[in-house]
Chain A
Amino acid sequence: MMSQLFPNVIWSDMVVAMIETFYMTLLALLGTFIFGIMLGLLLYLTSPGGVWQNKIINLIVATIVNVFRAIPFVILILLLFPFTDFLIGTLRGPNAALPALIIGSAPFYARLVEIGLREVDKGVIEAAKSMGAKTSTIIFKVLLKESTPALVSGLTVTAIALIGYTAVAGIIGAGGLGDYAYYYGFQRRSYDVVFMCTILIVIIVFIFQFIGDALTNKLDKR
């Protein structure tokens, strides 16, 4: 029945494309998490009233974050071609998509991290200070720990945006379901292939959303 509904779909190719999409999403998510937390912390800590209050650094970081968030992702990929070529040594395949994916989504996640950190009760930070906590203790054991549910739900939102980005990256040859839908589906007028890719991407999105929600609920002790 499946071969009647989807005559042009080659299932083994689909599996490969799906694995590529997962691969790009997960690795990019890891990079986004690391850079996003760093940038978000920097934004929060250097803001007025923060532990490292510093107008100039705050302005620089905020500007970088805003500029990269302002660039449409398709253009960002093109803009980063020389950088990607230098870093990865090729412009094709899932690995070549990673720099653009991370640079595209880390600033977005950084803002979500900043919002999550702002939600941490100032009184708790004051209490930690009154116990003689070092700044590093406050960052790791109070700020990041207390905002974990917000950081995880922010990461879920970012992951779903990232899945969209991987599809865009596919158009210029990054591999994955977007790539497959464009070259093997759209260009050959095999719309059943496009449709199957869509279904699989939606399933992947649902998986990420489900895991993210479950994790957030489990971590939230408020």
Chain B
Amino acid sequence: MITIKQLSKVFQTNSTEIQAVNALDLSIDKGEIFGVIGYSGAGKSTFVRLINRLEEPTSGQVTIDNQEITSLSKKDLRLSRQEIGMIFQHFNLLWSRTVRENIMFPLEIAGLSKQERLKRADELIGLVGLAGREDAYPSQLSGGQKQRVGIARALANNPKVLLCDEATSALDPETTDSILSLLVDINEKLGLTIILITHEMHVIQKICHRVAVMEDGSVVEKGNVMDVFSHPQQPVTKKFVEQVMGKPDDELADESILNQIDQGKLLRLHFVGETASQTTISQVAKKFDVDLNILHGNVKQTQSGAYGTLFVQITGDDKEIGEAISFITSTSVQVEVK
């Protein structure tokens, strides 16, 4: 749905050239939540601004729904921007307008009648859960509520794409979660394509289907969130995965856990993807005459299922243990005997 070809942006300062985005290629499918992660200065904010040409690209192409954004005239660009919603880190609401009037602003730009504007604004206020606050001014709202107004405003003209520029970075963890679930909700209800820029891996983990990792203006790694989590290739990706999963378990756990084991066996269960479910443990306990003792673990939920590892001590008859292990092997959970 969105195709980005060889997109570049060079900032010219007095003495030097800064290559903010460097020959970037990307394709994003309809209806997916696509995450772009990188440290500050990686060029991700510039990248998202190139998509709706808030920054003019130096070279390259952006195509949305077969419309080449990069070749549009100023006038046509304004029209197509109405179909690209955008939300910001600092919300960027008009403080002189109430919640309702803020949401009506893009509708005024699109030239809707007052009646239609009011009707649409009320729908959106319901959608983002701000009913009862429509006449409040932004200064009277919490951060999370402000971002809800931002989201409602971005959705006003029924956009095809929603660009999120660090939309949760100014919010506390709890509010971040509620905004993220609102985004997932919108994505599912409206089938809206979302491009999300962040420097927080747990945002990617929680809601994205696919992710691209940016460093120095280039995409260094991309793929399904699950694949990137389970097999990070680049050092920068590994660092981001550690943000969420902690240090790799092998180093941390093996030695110390092995020392605690005086009977039975130590199993390392690796959960990847949709079919991975923790009922595996209880199934083993029911089917075989063994005892299971969970020693250490770290399992995270992503958009495409659970991901993580569990260290389990299994005790009992050797034969039963052997059968239990082959049962686990037959499920999608990967097992390793230590």
Contact = CB atoms under 8 A, between A and B. Distances in A.
Interface of A: 121, 123-124, 126-134, 137, 141-142, 145-146, 148, 219, 221-222
B94 A131 contact: no
A129 B54 contact: yes
Contacts of B82: 131-132
B94 A145 contact: yes
Contact of A222 (B90, B109, B139, B163): B139
A215 to B, nearest CB: 14
B227 to A, nearest CB: 32
A133 B109 contact: yes
B96 A221 contact: yes
A181 B247 CA distance: 84
Contacts of B86: 127, 130-131
B88 interface: yes
A146 B78 contact: no
Contact of B81 (A132, A142, A145, A146): A132
Interface of B: 52, 54, 77-82, 84, 86, 88, 90, 92-97, 105-106, 108-110, 137-139, 153, 157, 163
Contact of B92 (A124, A132, A145, A148): A124
A126 B82 CA distance: 14
Given A123-B88, A221-B139, A131 B95 contact: no
A134 B82 CA distance: 12
A137 B109 contact: yes
Given A130-B84, A132-B80, A132-B106, 19 more contacts: A124-B93, A126-B92, A127-B153, A128-B105, A130-B54, A131-B81, A131-B86, A131-B105, A131-B153, A131-B157, A132-B81, A132-B82, A133-B109, A145-B97, A146-B94, A146-B96, A221-B95, A221-B137, A221-B138
Contacts of B138: 221
Contacts of A134: 78, 109
Contact of B54 (A126, A141, A221, A222): A126
A140 to B, nearest CB: 11
A131 B54 contact: no
Contact of A142 (B52, B94, B137): B94
A98 B108 CA distance: 39
A132 B94 contact: no
A127 B88 contact: yes
Contact of A121 (B92, B105, B163): B92
A128 B102 CA distance: 11
